[in-house]
Structure 1
Amino acid sequence: MEAFLSSTFAVAIAEIGDKTQLLALLLATRFTQRGDRAAIIWGILLATLVNHGVSAWAGQWLRELIPAEWLTLLLAVSFIALGLWLLIPDKDEEVDKGFFKYGAFVASLVLFFLAEVGDKTQVATVVLAARFDNYLAVVMGTTIGMLVANVPVVYAGSWLMQRMPMAIVHKAACALFILLGVFTLVGYYWW
């Protein structure tokens, strides 16, 4: 349960203000027909499951490859580095609007998958899967965390984004990842 809850909470917080959340807002403003919102959410869900499934597999592989004492140190440093990375704002990237002609679902699926490659939440998924020896809990947790952050944007996008204090959210996410790093070190060396 710890792997699932940690993964859900970490990704939900890390995703706030991220480029993929802004992509969800763009998709919601572009596709406004009946059923488009559900299609966007299904696209986000499937893209995240595939992306985070592969990422968690990579994390599990690293867990087996690296000796335990080194893995603990690497994980702690990775959590802290991720926390600090969250303080750096994402750069606006041009969205390939050519995918829009294929409809809400395909555009969301492809664009979300591509936007997640190398993103903070993908890296967090690798680190979480290396930290917790529970592949399914990490994938389900990070995917639900992604949905927790993006579904409200699809439905209440611009209204919600205008009322969220992004600087505070990013600092809270930074603190969360730094705490995960500290707890990883303390947990290994203390117990």
Structure 2
Amino acid sequence: MLTGFAVSSAAIFVAELGDKSQLMAMTFATRYRAWQVLLGITLATTVVHAASVALGFGMGALLPTEWIGLVAGIAFLGFAAWTLRGDHLTDAEKSKAGRTARSAVIAVTLAFFLAELGDKTMLATVTLASQHDWLGTWIGSTVGMVLADALAIGVGLLLGKHLPERFIRYGAAALFAVFGGWLIVESTLGLL
């Protein structure tokens, strides 16, 4: 369980750096209290990552480990490319983040839930759950994402628009490429 927690926390933290969700967190932090934004992110992430872990755990029980590792490595290389491309909020997403809602927590939770469906962090969690303990992966992926978004909230509050987004995006992409290459090499050696 500890390995699943550690690997998932680190991988999802890195995956979240420079992601659209961080931009949303910064935007919401300018409108609502930081604790409300963080609570909404935590609620949405807990639900989305529970579904991701269930999907990944089911795949892991059906497929051989080496093949899952190979597919995971290729997926992580894809995540690296996706991260390099970067995410930007559309005008509609900025508008949704800026609207006043009856409850800030509900607004943030719904926005993050919808934004995370099919996002690279969800796909990364599916991949990790196919190889590691489901509970450790679920808790770790949730903690990693919440910490990355908490960092975005803090940075957004302190630095505003002076965040070096390009540097963060390149660093996250490089780490994904390293993780992906490592998984591919390890899985290929296991198949031989």
Query: In which range does the TM-score fall when normalised by the shorter chain?
Result: 0.7 to 0.9
Mapping 1:56-135, distance limit 5 Å: 56-93=53-90, 94-95=92-93, 96=96, 100-132=100-132, 134-135=133-134
| Unaligned segments of structure 2, at least 5 residues | none
- Indicate the residue corresponding to 2:5 in structure 1: 4
Corresponding position of 2:26 = 25
The aligned counterpart of 1:45 is 42
* Partner residue, 1:150: 149
Higher alpha-carbon deviation: 152-161 or 141-150? 152-161
**Which whole-Å CA distance do the structure 2 matches of 1:23 and 1:30 have between them?**
11
Moved over 6 A (4+): none
What TM-score, normalized to structure 2? 0.85
Q: Aligned partners of 1:88, 1:72: CA distance in 2, in Å?
A: 24
Residue 135 of structure 1, CA deviation: 0.9
Compute the displacement of 1:91 (Å): 3.6
Superimposed CA distance per residue, residues 123-170 of structure 1 (whole angstroms, 9 cap, x where no aligned partner)? 1111111232x1111111111111211113334415345454322222
Distance 1:4 1:186, change over 3 A: same
Which amino acid in 1 is paired with 2:175? L
The aligned counterpart of 2:167 is 168
1:92 CA drift (Å): 2.1
Is 2:29–2:157's contact at 8 Å kept on the other side of the alignment? no
* TM-score with structure 1 setting the length: 0.86
Deviates more, 1:143-152 or 1:94-103: 94-103
Tell me the distance in 1 between the aligned counterparts of 2:156 and 2:97.
19
Aligned with 2:87: secondary structure?
coil
What is the root-mean-square deviation of aligned Cα atoms in Å? 2.2
Indicate the SS of the match to 2:84: coil
**Alpha-carbon distance in structure 2 between the residues aligned to 1:97 and 1:180:** 33
In structure 1, list runs of 5 or more residues that go unmatched: none
How many residue pairs match? The answer is: 186
Matched residue of 1:102: which SS? coil
Query: Which residue of 1 is the match for residue 14 of structure 2?
Result: 13
Which stretch shows the higher mean deviation, 7-16 or 91-100? 91-100
Q: What's the offset of the Cα at 1:16? A: 1.9
Task: Kindly state the Cα deviation for residue 2 of structure 1 after the two structures are TM-superposed.
Answer: 2.8
Please state whether the residue corresponding to 1:131 is helix, strand or coil: coil
Q: CA contact under 8 A between 1:14 and 1:170: conserved in structure 2?
A: no
